[in-house]
Structure 1
Amino acid sequence: MATTRDRALTAAVRLVGEQGVRALTHARVDAEAELPRGSTSNWFRSRDALLTGVIDWIAEQERADLTAATTPAQTVDDLIDTLTALIEDATGHHAVRTRARYALFLEMTAGGEAHGPLQAQRARFEAWARELLTAFGAEDPDAAARSLLAVSAGLILNRLTVAPDAALRPTVAIAVRGCLRG
């Protein structure tokens, strides 16, 4: 059974993912999670603390998904399949969480307390991509990782907004192979 904190964070992510960052209030989270009034504020005293908690929770969930999805790729096709599956999951089963992450990125571009955790999560994904691309012989792993993440972000945004059924694998294959060639 989920703890009160986990229920609050799950509800907060759902609110942000479905209604945007402005919908995130302690009272709305309590109502969405079907918790007694004041429960969320017991865990997160201020709105900034709640925002940071949501960002950290999303990052934890995404890291767990990334770890579970990434068996060591033996071939470039394995790598393409893994990346395709991650993007499909982000735009399918976890679309609300992904929308919440994008909403938070857009809201937090001015900096503030929550900007650090967003940047840290991005750095983790970039390091993961760089490590994979290095293992497959990328000439410039840093540029390749940034490029692959940019293409992935574009595919995710495209699927979440205008083309929910867009084929992913062909584009991921072109991006991966291009990153490996330099």
Structure 2
Amino acid sequence: MPATTRERALEAAVELLGAEGVRALSHARVDRRAGLPAGSTSNWYRTRRALLGGVVDWIAERERADFDASAMPSIRDVGGLIERLSAMAEIQSGPFAARTRARYALFLELADDPELSEPLRRQRREFERWTEQIVVAVGVADPVPATRALMALADGLLLHRLTVDPGLDIRPAIERAVRALAERPGTTTPTPG
């Protein structure tokens, strides 16, 4: 099914934000990038604030669709957690890199605007809950701080890959962190041989 004018505008806005940052966002630039007639974006979003809100909602909506927890395979061991986190980081810094950059730019720009940033924050909380459930399922002690540590590591790796080193192999860092968090005092986690 072909994308609607609104969807084309929102996708173009995400690409624009991901490539040039929040300051570059304007109705006219979105129209040009989407190949839409002048004024198309403003038909959907009358103000820049409304456009920002639309983009925030769109990113959260797309991420929910792309990372639907109910459609993901069950993760029951440390190896599965390493695989899933590594795969998600690869996708976020690969095919979805523009969206990831746009999300980071919006988080920074909208930090003092709880109304506009709430859909992004809500999406983040959902992803944290999902990750915590997996951390519990694989038997990691202290799942809340472990989840926060993994989320912070993933954010750092993504940011580094998107800004400094596009070829960074992120799996070793994720594997080391997950295995360290999975170790219980007095035990060691076997490493693949």
TM-score (normalizing by structure 2)? 0.89
After alignment, is 170-179 or 63-72 more displaced?
63-72
After alignment, is 69-78 or 97-106 more displaced?
69-78
- Structure 2 match to 1:128: 130
Tell me if the contact between 2:45 and 2:51 (Cα under 8 Å) persists in the aligned partners.
yes
- Structure 1 match to 2:60: 59
Letter in 2 for 1:163: D
Tell me if the contact between 1:44 and 1:50 (Cα under 8 Å) persists in the aligned partners.
yes
For 2:181 and 2:46, how far apart are their aligned partners in 1? 45
Shift in Å at residue 162 of structure 1? 1.1
- The answer to whether structure 1 residue 20 and structure 2 residue 21 are counterparts is yes
- Structure 1 match to 2:187: none
Shift in Å at residue 29 of structure 1? 0.8
- Structure 2 match to 1:100: 102
Shift in Å at residue 111 of structure 1? 2.2
Shift in Å at residue 73 of structure 1? 1.6
- Structure 2 match to 1:86: 88
**Aligned-partner SS, 2:37:** coil
- The answer to whether structure 1 residue 173 and structure 2 residue 175 are counterparts is yes
For 1:159 and 1:30, how far apart are their aligned partners in 2? 30
Gap runs ≥5 in structure 2: 185-193
Letter in 1 for 2:55: V
Gap runs ≥5 in structure 1: none
Moved over 3 A (4+): none
Shift in Å at residue 56 of structure 1? 1.3
Shift in Å at residue 9 of structure 1? 0.3
- Number of residue equivalences: 182
Q: Deviations over 1:94-147 (max 9, x none)?
A: 111111111111111122431211211111111111111011122211111111
Tell me if the contact between 2:30 and 2:41 (Cα under 8 Å) persists in the aligned partners.
yes
Shift in Å at residue 42 of structure 1? 1.5
For 2:114 and 2:178, how far apart are their aligned partners in 1? 34
Which protein shows a greater Rg?
A: 2
For 1:121 and 1:53, how far apart are their aligned partners in 2? 15
Tell me if the contact between 1:70 and 1:82 (Cα under 8 Å) persists in the aligned partners.
no
**Aligned-partner SS, 2:169:** coil
For 1:62 and 1:25, how far apart are their aligned partners in 2? 23
Tell me if the contact between 2:56 and 2:117 (Cα under 8 Å) persists in the aligned partners.
no
Tell me if the contact between 1:126 and 1:145 (Cα under 8 Å) persists in the aligned partners.
yes
Tell me if the contact between 1:48 and 1:113 (Cα under 8 Å) persists in the aligned partners.
no
Report percent identity of matched pairs: 53
